[in-house]
Amino acid sequence: MTDAAIRVTGLRKLYQGRPAVDGVDLEVHRGEVFSLLGPNGAGKSTTVEILEGFRRRDGGDVRVLGTDPAHADAAWKARIGIVLQRVDDLAQSSELTVREWVGSMAAYFPDPRPPDEAIEMVGLTGKRDARASSLSGGQRRRLDVALGIVGRPELLFLDEPTTGFDPEARRQFWGLIQGLAEAGTTILLTTHYLDEAEHLADRVAVISAGRIVEVGPPATLGGRAHAAATVRWLDRDGPRAVTTDVPTQVVRELAARFDGEVPELVVERPSLEDVYLRMIGSPA
Ligand SMILES: Nc1ncnc2c1ncn2[C@@H]1O[C@H](COP(=O)(O)OP(=O)(O)OP(=O)(O)O)[C@@H](O)[C@H]1O
Ligand SMILES: [Mg+2]
């Protein structure tokens, strides 16, 4: 099939003889926003960095844009964009400005965005002429994202891109990702923010101890869409909650009983966080 941007079967990676990635199968379609979720140490960065060609694997088959990243050439590298979880902080000791950093990265790509455009896309225009070493933590992370997108990648890897972002920067980043996705960019993103995954991802994979637990759209993961709902309201003698498969009927009965507005009425389904915590075996 030609619509897979990434295809992984049986991926294994050992560190000192112990598996960090233990038989992962994954398929990311072209144009898809796909998110890897999982606890610290689950194997997300290891997996992503193997796909980027940064780490060698010990087993399994990997195709990224049709090529094995372990044997990829410069032309392949020019088609992908990378935002690593941990960036070697060359910027910290450098005299270069934001614009110079982004401009020098752009030079590696055949059809880059104008550096100012990439800087604008991450909301750093006001810091364009500032030295990279003078940026705050969140600004520094935005620069990392600008460096990842300046080459107009077909496929963008983002490993915890929004760590350190303030809420406004996070929303702005979400808009940026949606814009890139609409323009056809395939995006593989890791995050610990489940609202971020829910907002951005077409599908998520939950990975725990080096294995995929489940893959699916955030709305239906873990049977969320069909799970029993909880109806909460404030009754005359205090707060009440009923878990039910027929919440509409419960609400109709309540509306009739209260003859109008039901105080503090809420209908809840399990959140992505609820099903995620259950999947990774946490006593939520
Ligand atoms: N270079 C390395 N040498 C030895 N062990 C490593 C190395 N890199 C990662 N590991 C181990 O492999 C496991 C997976 O690490 P990885 O960085 O892939 O996790 P992660 O899912 O990205 O976690 P986080 O959410 O904290 O970023 C961890 O137990 C980690 O300690
Ligand atoms: Mg990681």
Q: In whole numbers, what is the pLDDT of the chain averaged over residues?
A: 93
- The domain of 246 spans 228-268
Residue nearest to atom 5 of ligand 1 (CA): 15
Instruction: Tell me what pLDDT residue 91 has.
Output: 63
Q: How many helices (H) and strands (E) does the chain have?
A: 10, 12
In sequence order, what are the residues at sequence separation of 6 or more whose Cβ sits closer than 8 angstroms to the Cβ of residue 175? Answer: none
In a domain, 128, yes or no: no
Separation of 66 CA from ligand 2 center, angstroms?
Answer: 25
Token pair of 149, please? 């997108």
Using the CB atoms, write b or e for 67-97: b if 16+ within 10 Å: bebeebeeebbbbbbbbbeebeeebeeeeeb
Ligand 2 centroid distance, CA of 130 (Å): 29
Give the pLDDT confidence score for residue 194 in this predicted structure. Answer: 95
- Residue of minimum CA distance from atom 12 in ligand 1: 20
Element (H, E) at 140: helix 137-149
167 Cβ partners below 8 Å, 6+ apart? Answer: none
Per the domain annotation, does 247 fall within a domain? yes
Residue 98 lies in a domain: no
Predicted confidence (pLDDT) at residue 94 exceeds the cutoff of 80: no
Q: For the whole model, what pTM was predicted?
A: 0.91
> How many other CB atoms are there within 10 angstroms of residue 219's CB atom?
10
Task: Say whether pLDDT at 226 is over 70.
Answer: yes
Residue 186 forms beta bridges with which residues? 155
Amino acid, res. 7? R
Ligand 1 binding site (Cβ under 6 Å of any ligand atom): 15, 20, 38, 40-46, 85
Residue 249 domain-assigned (yes or no): yes
Dist CA 181 CA 156 (whole Å): 10
Question: Has residue 93 got a pLDDT over 80?
Answer: no
Tell me what the mean pLDDT of segment 45-63 comes to.
97
pLDDT-derived band at 180, boundaries 50, 70, 90: very high
Does any domain span residue 263? Answer: yes
Give a yes or no: residue 90 inside a domain. Answer: no
Rounded to an integer, the average pLDDT of 117-130 is 95
Residues facing residue 241 across a β-bridge: 232
Q: Atom 22 in ligand 1: which residue has the minimum CA distance?
A: 45
Index of the ligand 1 atom closest to the CA of residue 207: 21
158, 189 in Cβ contact below 8 A? yes
38 backbone dihedrals φ, ψ, rounded to 5°: 170, 160
Q: pLDDT: is 283 or 206 the higher one?
A: 206
Ligand with minimal distance to 42 CA? 1
pLDDT (average), residues 33-49: 97
Average pLDDT of the segment spanning 212-221: 96
Asked whether residue 87 carries a pLDDT value surpassing 90, the answer given is no
How many Å lie between the centroid of ligand 2 and the Cα of residue 192? 10
Decide: 214 and 205 in contact? Cβ < 8 Å: yes
Closest to 186 in 3D by CA, of 3, 16, 60, 41: 3
Distance CA 107, CA 146 (A): 14
Q: What number is the average pLDDT over the span 161-170? A: 90
Give the residue, by CA position, lying nearest to ligand 1 atom 9.
Answer: 46
Q: How many domains does the chain have?
A: 1
Question: Is 148 part of a structural domain of the chain?
Answer: no
Residue 260 pLDDT level (bands cut at 50, 70, 90): confident
Whether residue 59 is predicted with pLDDT greater than 90 in this model: the reply is: yes
pLDDT for position 1: 47
For residue 241, being part of any structural domain is answered with yes
